């Protein structure tokens, strides 16, 4: 049972690690995109600042949306993992309690047998 719990913990950690690996769009890439956009659409010099602001705003919006989606995704996976873990712990605990009770009964049995022999 412990192995299952350890393995599942590792799975969840891997999962969280994977979801954290979403690459953020770096400043360099944003600048590159702006330059590319300017060369294609022949933006006038006075509009360059406005274009840069617009691209940055869009990138920020996209990243914010992605963060929101990932929050939902991680929340769902965590909830599922938690339900499984609680259930496995419950089975483990139940089995342990029963084993203890059975051992106790067997012990009582042997005590009674010894007394009757005496």
Partner 1 sequence: MGKLIKILLPLIAILLFLSIYLIFSYADVEKSMLEVQKIFYLHVSAAMTVYLAFGVNFIFSIKYLVKRKSNDDLLAASAAEIGLVFCTIVLLSGPIWAKYAWNTWWTWEARLTSTLVLWLMYIGYFILRNALLADNRKTFSAVLGIIAFINVPIVHYATMFWETKLHPERGTKLEVLPTIRNTWMFVLLTFIILFVILLVLQYQTKKTESRYEAIRRKHLQEFS
Rule CB under 8 A: which residues touch partner 1?
A: 3-4, 7-8, 11, 14-15, 18-19, 66, 68-70, 72-73, 75-77, 79-80, 83-84, 87, 91, 94-95, 98-99, 101-102, 105, 108
Query: Strands, E, within 1-118: which ranges?
Result: none
Q: Are 38 and 51 a contacting pair, CB within 8 Å?
A: yes
Distance in Å, CB of 40 to partner 1, minimum:
25
Task: Tell me the closest approach of the beta carbon of residue 27 to partner 1, in angstroms.
Answer: 24
- Nearest residue (CB) to partner 1, 52 versus 81: 81
51 and 113 Cβ atoms separated by less than 8 Å: no
């Amino acid at each position: 049972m412990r192995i299952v719990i350890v393995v599942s913990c590792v799975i969840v950690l891997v999962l969280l690690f994977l979801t954290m690996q979403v690459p953020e769009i770096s400043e360099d890439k944003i600048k590159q995109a702006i330059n590319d956009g300017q060369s294609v659409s022949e933006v006038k010099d006075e509009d360059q600042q406005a274009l840069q602001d617009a691209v940055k705003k869009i990138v920020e919006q996209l990243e914010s949306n992605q963060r929101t989606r990932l929050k939902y995704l991680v929340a769902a996976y965590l909830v599922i993992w938690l339900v499984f873990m609680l259930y496995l712990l419950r089975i483990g605990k139940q089995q342990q309690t029963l084993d203890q009770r059975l051992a106790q009964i067997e012990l009582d049995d042997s005590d009674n047998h010894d007394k009757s022999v005496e």
